[in-house]
């Protein structure tokens, strides 16, 4: 999608601090971190929200979590614990309409989330 900021990050058209890239997934640091480690894992392919997922996206979705596991180990938060969050829709706080898995760690996390 031409005017999607995360499509542009995936394509290397705008800068981001990337920690992992493969054919399907890109992980980069969030610009406005909410924890000492705050990363975003995105599929290269544009999918706007969880509501747009199709059956054939199941493996791709799994790859987002495999990438999360890999970067959590790289960042040293695999054992201390981390939270993964994917907001769906404005009411849940989604502001960028290209699905992304937040990976947050490096501090204690409260529950319930705000």
Which of the residues are catalytic? 100
Residue count of the chain: 114
Among 31, 58, 73, 109, binds ligand AMP (CB under 6 A): 31
Interface residue with ligand AMP, options 53, 94, 106, 107 (CB under 6 A)? 94
Residues 6 or more apart whose Cβ sits within 8 Å of residue 51: 88, 89
- The number of residues that bind ligand AMP (CB under 6 A) is 11
Closest contact distance (angstroms) between CB of 64 and ligand AMP is 14
Proportion of the chain in helix, strand, coil states, percent, rounded to 5: 30, 20, 50
**In sequence order, what are the beta bridge partners of 38?**
104
Positions in the binding site for ligand AMP (CB under 6 A): 5, 16, 30-32, 40, 87, 93-96
């Amino acid at each position: 999608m031409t005017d999607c900021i995360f499509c542009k990050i995936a394509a290397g058209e705008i800068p981001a601090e990337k920690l992992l890239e493969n054919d399907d997934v890109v992980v980069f640091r969030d610009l406005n971190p909410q924890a000492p480690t705050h990363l975003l894992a995105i599929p290269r392919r544009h999918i706007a929200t969880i509501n747009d997922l199709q059956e054939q996206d199941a493996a791709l979705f799994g790859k987002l979590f495999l990438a999360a596991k890999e970067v959590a180990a790289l960042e040293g938060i695999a054992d201390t614990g981390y939270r993964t969050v994917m907001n769906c829709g404005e009411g849940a706080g989604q502001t960028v309409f290209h699905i992304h898995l937040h990976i947050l760690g490096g501090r204690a996390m409260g529950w319930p989330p705000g």
